[in-house]
């Protein structure tokens, strides 16, 4: 891949000029092309949001839906977020793309509210560090909530652990301002980043999302089961909710339930889907 080529080129350095040139050139070309395509994707309306339900573990009730960005590339077809989100972050495009995601998710909430009359569905949106750090982010959230008549509690923002650790002081302040308004905050992929547990006490958050790598392990690996168990206990002791992601089997669900996990998300329960399909889902209000 482009990243591997870049890495190799750097590692090999100038001693191997031929490899350096070939690897770097190809990597750069691919990267430049992807950035150009990505820049064009917003105006060309190639982005859509899919939504994956999160269920209350105890009652099975639909509690929230996570907005997941999908890019339909005109030549390559669907490109996975794992491939283009990092590029968007490195190229600075994540600001505009993230703003579109947030606006679109809030607009979708409003549409559901008008269709169902139920104001209590929560929409979770993934946030990049650059978005949270950007000037005017809080105002953007304020504006969207006001514009759509959306209760702040219906918006949940997910931020990965590693992103939060980039500038803890500023992030704590920003998150605090959001939380004061009633917006819900969750740490995504918890357990995979460089987590300093002492930060958990100062971060103004509501929930931890247990990374799916641990969830997958619970069936086969006693160590992973112990990690899941411990994270759930830790979160509860700190007054936080726990959302398990990537729940794929009955055994995983049973284990998480037995440990008092609050919310479940995963293919076993529902896949990410376009809004039209979500409305047909049995659990949708
Ligand atoms: P994430 O926020 O941790 O989202 C959960 C990912 O796990 C999604 O992948 C979802 O489709 C996948 N998933 C859900 N249930 C299961 C399951 O049971 N098994 C397995 N194997 N996977 C499951 P997706 O949609 O490919 O997104 C990947 C990542 O891209 C997200 O991870 C998130 O970090 C990022 N991302 C997606 N949309 C956005 C966005 O709008 N903004 C930002 N900044 N990042 C986004
Ligand atoms: Mg997420
Ligand atoms: Mg996650
Ligand atoms: Mg994850």
- Series of mean pLDDT values for 10-residue runs along the chain (285 residues): 48 53 81 93 97 97 97 94 94 96 98 92 96 94 98 97 86 96 96 79 93 91 94 96 97 97 98 96 90
**Looking at ligand 1, which residue's alpha carbon is closest to its atom 2?**
126
58-87 b/e (C-beta count within 10 Å ≥ 16 → b):
eeeebbbbbbbbebeeeeeeebeeeebbeb
Give the integer Cα–Cα distance in Å for 260 and 244: 11
Task: Look at residue 17 in the predicted model and tell me its pLDDT.
Answer: 56
Query: Under the phi-then-psi rule, with left for phi > 0, alpha for psi from -120 to 50, and beta for the rest, what region is 92?
Result: left
Residues whose beta carbon lies within 6 Å of some atom of ligand 1: 52, 68-69, 80-82, 85, 98, 101, 126-128, 158, 188-189, 212, 245-248, 265-267, 272
Which of 190, 226, 211, 217 has the alpha carbon at shortest distance from 266?
A: 211
Query: What is the predicted pLDDT for the residue at 167?
Result: 86
Confidence (pTM): 0.91
Give the atom of ligand 1 at the shortest distance from the alpha carbon of 85. 45
Q: Which ligand ends up closest to the CA of 209?
A: 3
DSSP letter at 36 equals: H
Pocket probe mutation, ligand 1, options 47, 53, 81, 212, max atoms within 8 Å of Cβ:
81
Distance 86 CA to ligand 4 centre (A): 14
94 closest CA partner among 42, 153, 164: 42
Q: What is the C-alpha to C-alpha distance for residues 231 and 245, in angstroms, rounded to an integer? A: 13
DSSP 193: S
Which atom of ligand 1 sits closest to the CA of residue 125? 41
d(CA 53, CA 98): 20
Nearest-ligand number for the alpha carbon of 131: 1
What interface predicted TM-score (ipTM) does this complex get?
0.98
Q: Across-strand partners of 187? A: 159, 208
Can you tell me the distance from the alpha carbon of 5 to that of 7, in angstroms, rounded to the nearest whole number? 5
């Amino acid at each position: 891949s482009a990243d591997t080529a870049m890495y190799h080129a750097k590692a090999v350095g100038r001693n191997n000029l031929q490899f350096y040139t070939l690897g770097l050139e190809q990597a750069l070309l691919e990267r430049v092309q992807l950035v150009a395509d990505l820049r064009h994707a917003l105006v060309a309306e190639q982005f859509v949001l899919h939504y994956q339900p999160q269920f209350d573990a105890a009652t099975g009730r639909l509690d929230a839906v996570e907005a997941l960005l999908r890019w339909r590339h005109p030549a390559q077809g669907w490109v996975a977020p794992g491939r283009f989100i990092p590029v968007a972050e490195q190229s600075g495009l994540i600001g505009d793309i993230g703003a579109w995601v947030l606006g679109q998710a809030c607009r979708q909430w409003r549409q559901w509210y008008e269709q169902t009359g139920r104001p209590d569905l929560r929409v979770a949106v993934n946030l990049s560090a650059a978005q949270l750090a950007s000037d005017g982010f809080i105002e953007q959230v304020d504006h969207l909530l006001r514009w759509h008549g959306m209760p702040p509690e219906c918006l949940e923002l997910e931020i990965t652990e590693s992103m939060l650790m980039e500038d803890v002081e500023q992030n704590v302040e920003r998150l605090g301002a959001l939380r004061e308004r009633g917006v819900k905050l969750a740490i995504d992929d918890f357990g995979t980043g460089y987590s300093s547990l002492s930060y958990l006490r100062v971060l103004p958050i509501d929930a931890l999302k247990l990374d799916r790598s641990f969830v997958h392990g619970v069936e086969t690996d006693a160590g992973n089961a112990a990690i899941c168990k411990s994270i759930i206990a830790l979160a509860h002791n700190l007054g936080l909710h726990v959302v398990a992601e990537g729940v794929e089997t009955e055994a995983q669900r049973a284990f998480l339930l037995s440990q008092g996990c609050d919310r479940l998300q995963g293919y076993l329960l529902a896949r990410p889907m376009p809004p039209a399909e979500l409305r047909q889902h049995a659990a949708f209000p």
